[in-house]
Amino acid sequence: MATSAKEDEQSDRSVILRDLAEDALGTFEQIVSAAASLIGQRPAGVDAFAGINELTASRAVENLGRVQGELASAYRHLRDEPAIARVVVADENDRRETLYICRATPVTCGGVQLCSNLGPKGRLAALPVGDFARIRLPSGAVDLEVVEKAVFKPTCPGGMWDSQPTVFQAEGHGPLTIVSLRELLAAAGYADDDLDALERQLADDDEAVNVVEGLRRSVLTAMQLRDQPILDQFQDEIFRLPLDSRLAILGPPGTGKTTTLVRRLRQKVDFQFLSEEEQDLVETADANGPPHNQSWLMFTPTELLKQYVKEAFAREGVPAPEQRIRTWSDHRRDLARRSLPILRSATGGTLVINERVDPLQPATITDQIAWFEDFNAFSSAIFLEQISAHAAAIGGSADPTIARIGSRVAGLLSSASTRPVAAIAAVSAVFEELRKTSSSLNDEIRQRLRRPLARQVAADPTLLDDLARFIVTLSPDVEDDEDAEGDDEDEVPQQGRRAAQDAFLKALRGRAVAEARKRPVSRTSRNGRVLQWLTDRGMMLPEMADIGELVVVQRAARRLVASPTAFVRGVPARYRTFRRARLAVGRWYQESDIAGGEVSPHEVDVILLAMLRNARDMLDDTNLMRRLGDRTPQILSDVSRLQRNQILVDEATDFSPVQLACMAALASPWTNSFFACGDFNQRLTVWGARSVDHLRWIFPDIDVREIDVAYRQSRRLNELASALAAKDGKASTRMCQPARKVDPLSAPNIDPLFREFRRLSR
């Protein structure tokens, strides 16, 4: 009796699986046929538009071409992979519907209900059988229960579609692993009456080999990230979280963290899968940057991992050019040399990176948050002291009108908070008056300084040519006096005689200020070298203390107007001052052979973070930005162009908290989207982030989630990893296996596995 019941159950299962195989393989053919017909269609041209606005025509045509390209790519993807899952769902009235889930944009094909795994109904493929989900559709929300589910791996050997393997689960059945759907149909092609007892037993054996109870882990044949078309319920929930989320996914290797990251990006770059709220955010952000589908950056710690991630993106149909998947070392160098004035280059940087000598104490490397906060406080204090000194210099002018402006600036500063951005915003109320004062004084100073030059050129016509040849020989390492810093940031570099004239006037300015302040010009500075050259040539320079007083006031007015720029551009100079001060007291730094104009990579990180945060603080201050208006500093526009709608970080625990904060600062303020994944126990760098507190220092509201279901390793390997982590004194995340997974490396299977390996090796 029991045997008969078991046979009936086996027979029912066979019928269900054969019906599944027939329906799935037939549907594959329908989808592929529909996709192939769409690939062959001629794309629409500009005549698709009802009317053309000449002002926006190029952008419209560009968007049309982009959409057509994306659709063509989706059709090709469907031709190669028609579906990844089949889900039977039931609504509240037990009305059933069969859905096919694909990775690409779905096509219309007959009576097939084809849905993208990124769309609302795609959620259903991640749910276990028996679970409900409320799906929001254009017609309204509906509650659906998953009644039956099959996950496919489509393949087309010899032009015949198959799925190898298929994982099936239904109420009372499964999970089952079907090695081949086509073999299942082939075995079903014989009627019981046509088989004798021996053949029937052999056919039953064939089906038993083809249909396995439980889940079977596939074997990776190369170094790559595992392809997981359907995520589990937990991963699926994570990747569908709103675009403007700050997320950190933590878990041991093999828990699908990177797969979740890739799937999230795949969904969030596609405008059609964004919610209305997300679309509004994107449309606002797109007005200030690249198109949304290109407005993302992903960081990986190594080039090797970068290649694996690019392959995973390719499987998902996400274009991933080199400029959007970066190692931090490459991106840091580009930012510091090409975008921000840190490293010596055409952008005006003065520092040189030195990767061979490290001036940092070992303890500094592992305590970078405290190091950065100390520098940031030091930098802010110096900046506030400088603008207060500028206000005092203007207030000390002999001209009562100018002195009153200085007193007003001092009053504004005293009423502002101690935040640098608040001080800048307060002083910005008198920027126009300061600008006019600086301009009028500059005209007077320039006329008075040109007189000795004009007299000397009249007496010595070769002066400018000889001076031009001399200043070319001056090393870039020769710095100007402290008083001359930032005087001519807006001026275009000159050449030849005009460059000689500029050098002459700057040197005389420096001498005038030195006389007014009753101190000498540094002989080793650029101004000092030019003045010495003029003296050696026999030129007699007049007394200039009175001009120096004017220069001090004019320079202070100009620097107050330029304070938004100086708050960002002045960070490298303030860092050098900080390093000298802290080295003198033995804090953070150790004695080393590093030169004054050299910095280590970690020091570049600190400078970058300070500059990015300073710029972002100003960009976020609506009052300040309104007052600046069309005179917004170029440095703020440069930083704004660096920002992207999505920032993603793989193996985040290999990056320092300061590096992660730099990446976070590159997120657009409109979306503030940041997604990181990693494992504190898997950290490979001394400076890597060590705790959730490090992540919360970057984003206090970051949503930290842990995954503990391992898909990549066997249970025994997971147990070994946990034991090693515990032995090392680390907090080990408990790992578990997916339910009822057949482990090829478990004890019953290990001997046959190695016997087969030895046979193949021979």
What does 357-425 look like in DSSP terms, one character per residue? ---B-HHHHT-HHHHHHHHHHHHHHHHHHHHHHHHHHHHT-SSHHHHHHHHHHHHHHHHS-SSHHHHHH
* Domains by residue range for the chain, with CATH: 2-216 (no CATH), 233-340+638-712 (3.40.50.300), 372-575 (no CATH)
- 65's tokens: 């071409």
Give Cα 93 to chain centroid, integer Å: 46
- Give the per-residue pLDDT at 69: 74
Contacts (Cβ under 8 Å, ≥6 apart) of 69: none
Omega before residue 175 within 30° of 0, cis: yes
β pairing state of 352-353 and 96-102:
unpaired
What is the DSSP annotation of 131-161?
-EEEEEETTEEEEEEEEEEEEEEEE-GGG--
pLDDT at 322: 87
Would you state the pLDDT for residue 495?
A: 81
Q: What is the mean pLDDT of each run of 10 residues along the chain (762 residues)?
A: 59 85 94 88 56 56 68 86 95 94 84 91 92 88 94 92 93 86 76 47 58 65 60 87 96 86 92 90 81 94 90 83 93 96 86 95 97 98 96 94 95 89 95 95 92 90 93 69 49 78 93 92 91 91 90 96 97 97 98 94 98 97 93 95 96 97 97 95 91 97 85 62 63 49 46 51 51
Can you give the three-state secondary structure of 39-72, one letter per residue?
HCCCCCCHHHCCCCCCCCHHHHHHHHHHHHHHHH
How far is Cα 322 from Cα 173, in angstroms, rounded to an integer?
46
Residues 4-37: b if buried by 16+ CB within 10 A, e if exposed: eeeeeeeeebbebbbebbebbbebbebbbebbee
Residue 571's nearest CA partner among 607, 533, 519, 616 is 607
- pLDDT for 191 equals 45
CA atoms within 13 A on the CB side of 587: 11
Residue 745 pLDDT = 47
Half-sphere exposure of 14 (CA within 13 A, CB side): 20
| Both structure tokens of 253 | 């290797």
